[in-house]
Amino acid sequence: MLSSKDVVELTEPTPGHADDDSEQHTSQYNGIWCRDRFCGALAFNFVGFVLPALYNTLSKLWVANIDSSMVVTVDSYTYIGVVAEVINEGLPRAAWVIIGDKFSRSLPSRIELTQTLVLFQGIMGLVVSVIILGAAKQFAAGFVPEEVRRASLTYVRISSFSVFSAALEVAVTNAARALDHPDVPFLISATRFAINIVLDLLILSRFHVGSSKPTVNIQATIRLGCDFAAAFAGLAYFAFIVFGLRRKSSDLQGLPVPRSSLKALKVLLRPGVLTFAESAVRNTFYLWLVSNIVSMGADYATAWGTFNTIRWGLVMVPVQTLEATSNVFTGHKWGQWRKKVGIDLQKAKASWKQLRDIATPALTAVAIALAVEVPLCIFLSLFGCKPFAYYLSGSDSVASITAHMWRTIDWCYIFYALSTELATILLSTVPRWYLYQSLVSNMFYVLPWAIVCQAAHLNSSDAWSYHAFVFGGSLVFSFFDVLLFVLLWAWKLSRGTLSFDKVRLV
């Protein structure tokens, strides 16, 4: 354990790589809106998240205009995305603590890790896509109401390959953000949004070209094509950025081009396995509960999908934006502290000033999230939820159910916003603890309620009394769970008793 005289403050000058010094120097003179500063990254990330959320909302409107009974079919795309999320929250979430560590790792090493991440995720995404394609009937049986199940099979088969495009996209966006290039996910979102809107207007809207009748399967095909176009556009732009970094960086002059490697994969796997396990447990419980919701009938299932479109769409954009930004800069701060105390140490003592410096991005995100989410929840509860739900679903009964869901648990999402930003401290420093807090929440709260919902033989008239406790209560429980772990993290780090992995270089 280090003594207090061995602890070096983060504010002292850091001897780093040439590219790190130049990055710090550039940021100093480019002002707060530079992309490698908190405010600049926040602005890029906001646009990167708001465009897909806006399109997801508009896609529901297109489908409601085509056939309101098929709105629930579009939710199968979301549930396929949940399956994709399991692999996309594995290795890509290791980017914050591994690739984001620009103080202990050289630029060639970080580029090699990035290329390995993209290649591995692409292979995993393709494998999962093929599995969902082959099991389309079984997937539809679990997540599409019986009334439209047969008509939804083709939609599920088309959408299955969205896992592949999402895997590539998430790997590129997380790596790019960890390398302080949020302009890459910005380009991906802008490309998808522009192509989607043009094609949807020409083919799906009421003013579409030609006399043929639009269908939800055409919408799925357009969406999948745009996903691939955006993912490969982002990959090409990111490759161009890496080429530029290589040409400018003194670290890379005269060295062979960094390539994917098994050694780099092993470095990513150590924290990646933890984040994968966390996501697998959480999303397995979620899909279990969703299958129970789908069994309540088309109106109830459509209302739940509409609720999620509102909550996890435009309304949640500020939270997602702040989370991505906080992860990047917390990872940078953690890497800087590890560089100062020694990258080979597995325990070290941090002063309270150092702790505050490491946690500053997350605490800033907490304050902004609170300021945005509270008035947003109040406004939608009082004025906006039911009309918005009607426009998305085209059904009065669905809109009424959705409004009731919203008024019941909307305040719980304020706790979710706070816990999400606080959890970035754990995810970007000691991913093992991020897994621990998630297991506590899922095993001690979500699992018991999921069993109750499965055994209670619910119907659509009383189901929400139980589901509200599951979904809303878990958000409140998770906040206090995360807060406890963050306080424990700070206490143990201040005493020098927190164990963390050595920095394993490529």
Predicted pLDDT of residue 453: 82
What is the 3-class SS of 100-128, one letter each residue?
CCCCCCCHHHHHHHHHHHHHHHHHHHHHH
243 and 284 fall within a common domain: no
68 and 116 fall within a common domain: yes
State both tokens at 427: 């995810």
Query: In degrees rounded to 5, what are phi and psi of residue 346?
Result: -110, -5
390 and 450 fall within a common domain: yes
- pLDDT tens profile 3-61: 433 333 333 334 344 344 444 444 444 567 787 788 889 999 998 888 888 877 777 66
Chain CA centroid to CA 435, Å: 16
Residue 107 resides in a domain: yes
**DSSP helix, strand, coil percent of the chain (3-state; round to 5):** 80, 0, 20
Contact 182, 176 (CB under 8 A): yes
80 and 125 fall within a common domain: yes
Q: Which residue among 210, 227, 262 closes a domain?
A: 262
Give residue for tokens 């996903």.
227
Residue 188 resides in a domain: yes
* Count of residues making up the chain: 506
- Helical segments of 211-261, H only: 216-248
Number of domains in the chain: 2
State both tokens at 394: 């085209």
168 and 48 fall within a common domain: yes
Residue 68 resides in a domain: yes
What is the 3-class SS of 331-350, one letter each residue?
HHHHHHHHHHHCCCCCCCCC
Q: Which residue among 262, 289, 322 closes a domain?
A: 262
Residue 370 resides in a domain: yes
201 and 297 fall within a common domain: no
Predicted pLDDT of residue 21: 43
What is the distance between the alpha carbons of residues 427 and 330, in angstroms, rounded to a whole number?
A: 9
Residue 389 resides in a domain: yes
What is the distance between the alpha carbons of residues 28 and 31, in angstroms, rounded to a whole number?
A: 6
Q: Which residue among 206, 230, 262 closes a domain?
A: 262
Predicted pLDDT of residue 396: 83
178 and 323 fall within a common domain: no
Contact 200, 193 (CB under 8 A): no
Q: Give 152's contacts (C-beta < 8 A, 6+ positions apart).
A: 70, 73, 76, 140, 144
Residue 61 resides in a domain: yes
Q: How far is CA 310 from CA 60, 383, 395, 441, 503, in A?
A: 11, 14, 15, 24, 41
Residue 8 resides in a domain: no
What is the distance between the alpha carbons of residues 153 and 160, in angstroms, rounded to a whole number?
A: 11
State both tokens at 494: 């201040």
Residue 403 resides in a domain: yes
What is the extent of the structural domain holding 105? 31-262
Average pLDDT for runs of 10 along the chain of length 506: 38 40 45 80 90 76 62 68 82 90 86 92 93 83 69 81 92 92 92 86 71 77 90 93 74 65 90 90 85 78 81 83 94 91 85 94 95 86 78 80 86 92 94 92 90 80 84 93 96 91 73
Predicted pLDDT of residue 354: 94
Write down the pTM of the prediction: 0.82
248 and 331 fall within a common domain: no
Chain CA centroid to CA 48, Å: 12
324 and 461 fall within a common domain: yes
300 and 252 fall within a common domain: no
DSSP 96: T
DSSP 445: I
Predicted pLDDT of residue 141: 74
What is the distance between the alpha carbons of residues 39 and 42, in angstroms, rounded to a whole number?
A: 5
255 and 284 fall within a common domain: no
Predicted pLDDT of residue 164: 93
332 and 236 fall within a common domain: no
> Helices 463-495 and 262-294 sit at what angle, rounded to 10 degrees?
150
Q: Which of 389, 360, 324, 74 has the alpha carbon at shortest distance from 185?
A: 324
